Structure 1
Amino acid sequence: MRVVFAGTPEAAVPTLRRLVDGPHEVVAVVTRTDAPQGRKRVLTPSPVAAAASELGLTVIKAARLDDEATAAVTAQHPDLGVVVAYGGLVREPLLSAPEHGWINLHFSDLPRWRGAAPVQRALIAGDETLGACVFSLVPALDAGDVYARLDYEPPAMATAGDVLDALAHRGAYLVADVVDALAAGTAHATPQEGGPTHAPKLTIDDGRLDFDEPAERVLARFRGVTPEPGAHTTVGGSRLKILSARPADRADGLAPGRIAQGDDGVLFGTATAPIAVERVQPAGKGAMDAAAWWRGLRIDDPVAGA
């Protein structure tokens, strides 16, 4: 089949590469326009754009799938569209342009966590089993029939970045199998069952850690917002980004938000047991070991959140 692929972040690249290695022809790649990156805000191609250029594919850059983008895609006469985290909605008439419509790799077990941040919201909620599925795009958000699913149980302290990477590679094979089945006429999709939950895009405020919560909830939020938008708190009126954290070896109490040096690192108290923080990034500085940050702290009795 002639396939048009739409995606933007690194999590979409494994599926693109898998499709290129398969028996079908990727006739064009749609991705978001170049975005400013770094402190100097240099316009930088998306990871999908970079991979597509490396592979010698036709690249269509579009901030949204408007009339111009629709015309560019339609001109390729695709049999199928494949979407992985493009970052925008596929609407009519583009939705019906390919003969076999569009399929989407989504990083949750739909209908749980429909929306832009399924892995992040699942981790914040404390879900122990995550998943991915390939479904048929319809006008309603993430509501189409499902062709294939997979379950994934992440390691205990895997972050959203770790889980997305794992699901991206596993999901690439899932997509390729569905594309093969659609080409062979053997694909079968089933309606989603159960009430949906929703996963809106995260904001910077979603990364704020509340040390009045139990340790497991603090760590769940840390995992869900790492690496983006990033876990953070305030110490002495200055923002502190938490880059690496885990359960502390000691179980004795430390008042919520209180910070202390322990045998296993810098400890932050919670409503239950303390957590050990290993790497931090103070405002205006680079990343550093939490122990080095602690040694340079000039605050008596520091409290996180103050």
Structure 2
Amino acid sequence: ASPSRRAMLLEAAAAATAVAALAGTALALRGPGPPQDPDLQGLCRALEALAALDAERGGAGRLRSRGLAAAQGALEALLTAEQGRKAGEAGPLERKDLVRQEGAARSNGGSGEEGFIGEPVPSRVVPGGRTYETGLEHLAMLHELRPYKVLLLGDSHVERFPKRAHGGAHFGRLEEAGGRTFAAGVGGDGVAELAWRLQQQQLLDSFPTPLVAVLVLIGSNDLLRGADPEDTALAAADIVLRHVAAHPVAAGASLLVLAVPPARIPGSAGGRFAADRRRYHECLCARLSSADGRSVGFLDPLEGAPGGLAVEEDASLFMRDGVHLSPAGYERLAAGICSGL
């Protein structure tokens, strides 16, 4: 298939997956009987029609994408009304609960055991969204013939690593240590968005040969947005243990979770982030060390800056925003990762 045709097919496949997820959510809202809200009844029928359209039209991804976005918006608007109706019957029904249950059933082969990963930000995982579009770019890049040996998963810290203006001058050190490296980072992604890329876009399925190492650096955006550090740690561990370690392409790979970089944030907000970061790492290490089966390493590659300074006190390691790493910060990150590899 041509590159344009391949991109269209990838978009169509992602739209079909999202339609199926929305249909499952709408059906779950029905409970033991049909929904009383007539608009929700109509939405269920519309989702079924969209699913049928997906099955019939292999190249009309953009047409379906517009319909999908409209259906998703309608579902979000109707949830509150339907929850209110059911509140007196079995308590309020929250969309995050439905997504968590669905994700747990998928990750456990339908066993129903509860998982920890929440839902991604809806606007990021629809056509035009940052996670969706950058994820498609990653899938297209992986169709190259030269195999990759190392996969680096994460957010903007990972996305900026190979870029010339940020960590590009030092990215080659990773490849010298572990082999050709693919940086699958998306700026702004949290744990839930990374899980979405692995599950819905099936990123690992695009690697034709086994990986030597998989490195995961995720959680910064969750903590910056005030997410609970313990919940975030459980969700991040869930990604590594259920969706990376269990995948055939990573069966023989070394698995390494990287610490979230510190941040130079002034005032009380900086203190909260530092405390949440410490708690996140404590819970993450505890969860990974207690897991049965695969061994997963943990590394803080920025620990111990030269001169005895705490990393966050060394302004040379950060960009002006105090969050993203400077070229000097990436030099230190590369050195730390290479020691882990």
**TM-score between both structures, scaled by the size of structure 2:** 0.30
Give the strand-richer structure, 1 or 2. 1
Give the alignment's TM-score, normalised by structure 1: 0.33
More helix by share: 2
